[in-house]
Structure 1
Amino acid sequence: MLNRRHLLATANAVTMGLATSVAFPFASFAQSRDAAVDEAKLLVPGILPDQALGNPNAKVRIVEYMSMTCSHCANFHNKTFESIRLDYIDTGKVYFIIREYPLDPLAAAGFMLARNAPGGKYFDVVSILFKTQSEWAFVADPLAGLRNVSKQFGYSPATFEATLTDQKLLDGLNASRERGSKEFGVTGTPTFFINGTREVGFMSVEEMSTKIRAML
């Protein structure tokens, strides 16, 4: 369980080796593909309010458990998500929820900055962080890199420090990860639940679109 001292100390010490080790091998997840969970239970928010886009009454509901330092999550959001958003989320066909599953303290820091970003632009900040992942997640001084990137979405040095020492927020992120593991069998990222059916690993536009179209 992370605390704020551990968060800052470890984030400062994160090296490229640690950052690249957070993506779990997908081969170990083969047995969990297409496994279903209780969707009614899945859709109940945790301690932190859900970050979601689209129509809550949409026929297709997608929950993504992700980590900000996961390269596979970045690939999904950089290569797939915007097309899915334009074709299905913005048109009211899909309700898309992000659930945080930080795999390391630096990932937790990224989520904290997204949660507390000025203007409440969570998804916009997530997008920026994934597009700039190589500038803060895979560098010798990741906290400095994250501080530099955070200026793009309105953080001052004081608000940056205050956000990364927000123990209540960090506790909520810890709870999100713990709940994902214990209640829904999440063991790595990205893990998607599409109408309650689990899909593990990167999904292309065509792969996700095919799953969505089958449920519409």
Structure 2
Amino acid sequence: MRAERPSRLAQMSRRAAITGAALAAMALSACGGNKGGSAEGDMALGAADGAKVTVVEYASVTCGHCALWQQNTWPAFKAKYVDTNKVRYVFRELPTPPVDVATAGFLVARCAGDAKYFQVVHQLLATQQEMVTGSPRDWLLRTAQAAGMNEQQFADCVSDRDAVAALEKRIQQAQAQGVTGTPAFFVNEQEVITPGSSEGPSLADLSTAIDAELAK
């Protein structure tokens, strides 16, 4: 990150230290896993809670494989199952390296509000290369501003200890369920994997699992 604006960057550095210390023992493989069901803090699209089929994705905004799944599979999956309310799609946050940046990204998504949560997450995944080639802070700030936040709101958001504690609790819940990396997908608590894939399950494999559950 750049040296200017030391106060803002110092805030992010303090937050990085906090999350780094709290999450060090939970570090996930950078980009497989184990449960569906419902959990506190779930963000969902599609059918209502209690739907016949629930698809859970564990992902990170800094995971390159997650970004590829969103780019290559999400549009067709969304059109086939989410927009038609055939499934309840649940997204769960699992920060991967750089953990402090992923954590800040998820904090921004939460601060943007429920109505803009997925907009922020999807924008971060779609523009992930900007984190790699430029300043992670600038990448996060641009995303926050696109969601209607100003720079002070962004700084306050990524230094919110209560929000970090809530995220840490969600990570602990995921690890207690056996999830070890991202992306990981579960259809009614059964993991779906496409052998050899580096970007999560294919639409064909997800469809096989989902359609079998819908047919029951």
Tell me the TM-score normalised to structure 1 length: 0.77
Answer yes or no: is the 8 Å Cα contact 1:78–1:127 preserved in 2. Answer: no
Could you give the per-residue CA deviations for residues 178-210 of structure 1, whole angstroms, max 9, x where no partner exists? 11011x101110111110112356122222222
Go from structure 1 to structure 2 and tell me whether the alpha carbon gap of 1:155 and 1:22 turns closer, same or farther (over 3 Å shift). farther
* Superposition pairs of residues 119-138 of structure 1, within 5 angstroms: 120-136=115-131, 138=132
* Superposition pairs of residues 21-100 of structure 1, within 5 angstroms: 23-24=30-31, 37=35, 42-43=37-38, 45-46=39-40, 49-55=41-47, 56-100=49-93
Residue type of the alignment partner of 2:210: I
CA distance in 1, matches of 2:174, 2:50: 23
Q: Does 1:151 align with 2:157?
A: no
CA distance in 2, matches of 1:10, 1:75: 29
Tell me the TM-score normalised to structure 2 length: 0.77
Go from structure 1 to structure 2 and tell me whether the alpha carbon gap of 1:150 and 1:123 turns closer, same or farther (over 3 Å shift). same
CA distance in 1, matches of 2:65, 2:90: 18
Instruction: State percent identity of aligned pairs.
Output: 34
How far off is 1:115 after superposition? 0.8
Q: Which runs of 5+ in 1 are unaligned?
A: 12-20
CA distance in 2, matches of 1:165, 1:54: 31
How far off is 1:5 after superposition? 4.9
| Residue of 145, 154, 164 corresponding to 1:160 | 154
Alignment size in residue pairs = 188
Residue type of the alignment partner of 2:202: S
CA distance in 1, matches of 2:50, 2:172: 27
SS of 1:120's partner is helix
RMSD value, Cα:
2.6
CA distance in 2, matches of 1:152, 1:50: 23
CA distance in 1, matches of 2:191, 2:14: 32
> Match of 2:8?
none
CA distance in 1, matches of 2:130, 2:205: 29
Answer yes or no: is the 8 Å Cα contact 2:192–2:206 preserved in 1. Answer: no
> Match of 1:199?
192
Residue type of the alignment partner of 1:125: V
CA distance in 2, matches of 1:169, 1:151: 19
CA distance in 2, matches of 1:63, 1:80: 15
SS of 2:192's partner is strand
Answer yes or no: is the 8 Å Cα contact 2:185–2:200 preserved in 1. Answer: no
